[in-house]
Structure 1
Amino acid sequence: MALTRPPLSLKGRALRYLSAREHSRAELERKLTPHVQEGDNLQSLLDDLETKGFINEARVVESVLHQKAGRMGAIRLRQELRTKGVDDTAIQEALTQLQNSTSGSEQERAQSLWQRRFGSAPSNPRERLRQMRFLAARGFAADTIRRVVP
């Protein structure tokens, strides 16, 4: 006989999401909205989680930068953080901090990614364009790409 679990409460779902990775308030709201039932107060729950420190925008920003800065340029990182609902001023501060950090400048990160992916100069113009598109898709600026791809 199979045991059936009772459905998770809204708070239970929120804590399950937060235990997997950092989520912004906007992300949690988007994920939890379909599960709101009569009598649930989603905004009150999110306020409570924020007050207790379970939801923290600074940790979300730090997590995204830690996971993706080595593979993405500033344009793509900005887009990623906006998608998560992070405030524009926090995004700008984070990108400025990233530029001044030990992980290297935008060009150094692009150079490292290009080296790992391709390792040698393109043999023809078509290959050069392919390499440039690769870096552009990762969110690196055009002037950075021109300096990296020989």
Structure 2
Amino acid sequence: MAITTLKQQAKVKAAKYCAYQERTQQEVRDKLYQYGLYSDAVEEVLTELITEGFVNEERYAYAFCRGKFNQNKWGRIKIGMMLRQKGLSNYCIQSGLKQISEEEYQQQLSELIRKKWASLEGEDDYSRKHKTVRYLMGKGYEPDLIWSYFKE
């Protein structure tokens, strides 16, 4: 009887945890283990949370992609790598990345190039270009795309 109430309490806590912000299945699984549940109970509660719509990895990917793109100005490569680290499927990752329109992506890349280039004023053009490209690759933008801007 105690296990059932512990499971119910953990489910309520996990539902609140998920309602606060989007979570991956692994984040919820880890949290359920912290609440003192064992593997069978964890998987049962996680299944119930998925069924009830508290956990949805595709929705998580959408929110993550929009947030990292808009707030952190990350490129697709870095966003995709972070989602893979979190254990999301390729389908969820691709769905999330589709939320970033090509027009917004190009515009943001152009703005980042302009700002970085201006911040390196006083250095020779070769050094400015090298530092700007390195900065943008660190942000997760595609090298081909970056170089195409410098060719124009």
Secondary structure of the structure 2 residue equivalent to 1:118: helix
Which consecutive residues of structure 1, in runs of 5 or more, have no partner in the other structure?
A: 1-8
| Cα root mean square deviation, aligned | 2.8
Q: Kindly indicate whether the alpha-carbon contact (under 8 Å) linking 1:106 and 1:144 is maintained by their aligned counterparts in 2.
A: no
Q: Kindly indicate whether the alpha-carbon contact (under 8 Å) linking 2:77 and 2:142 is maintained by their aligned counterparts in 1.
A: yes
> Residues 39 and 149 (structure 1 numbering): CA distance in 2 closer, same or farther, change over 3 Å?
closer
Q: Percent identity?
A: 25
Q: Kindly indicate whether the alpha-carbon contact (under 8 Å) linking 2:77 and 2:140 is maintained by their aligned counterparts in 1.
A: yes
Residue 118 of structure 1: which of 116, 119, 124 is its match? Answer: 116
Q: Kindly indicate whether the alpha-carbon contact (under 8 Å) linking 1:14 and 1:32 is maintained by their aligned counterparts in 2.
A: yes
Q: Kindly indicate whether the alpha-carbon contact (under 8 Å) linking 2:133 and 2:146 is maintained by their aligned counterparts in 1.
A: yes
Q: Distance in 1 between matches of 2:46 and 2:136?
A: 37
Residues 1:93 and 2:95 aligned together: yes
TM-score (norm 2): 0.73
TM-score (norm 1): 0.74
| Equivalent residue, structure 2, for 1:135 | 136
For these two proteins, the number of residue pairs brought into alignment is 138
Q: Of Structure 1 and Structure 2, which has the larger fraction of its residues in helix?
A: 2
> Residues 39 and 26 (structure 1 numbering): CA distance in 2 closer, same or farther, change over 3 Å?
closer
Any residues of structure 2 matched to 1:1-150 within 5 Å, and which? Answer: 9-37=9-37, 41-70=41-70, 71-98=73-100, 101=101, 104=103, 106-115=105-114, 117-118=115-116, 120=118, 122=120, 123-124=123-124, 125-149=126-150
Which consecutive residues of structure 2, in runs of 5 or more, have no partner in the other structure?
A: 1-8
Secondary structure of the structure 2 residue equivalent to 1:79: helix
User: Deviations for 1:12-38, whole angstroms, at most 9, x for unmatched residues?
Assistant: 442343233100112222343344346
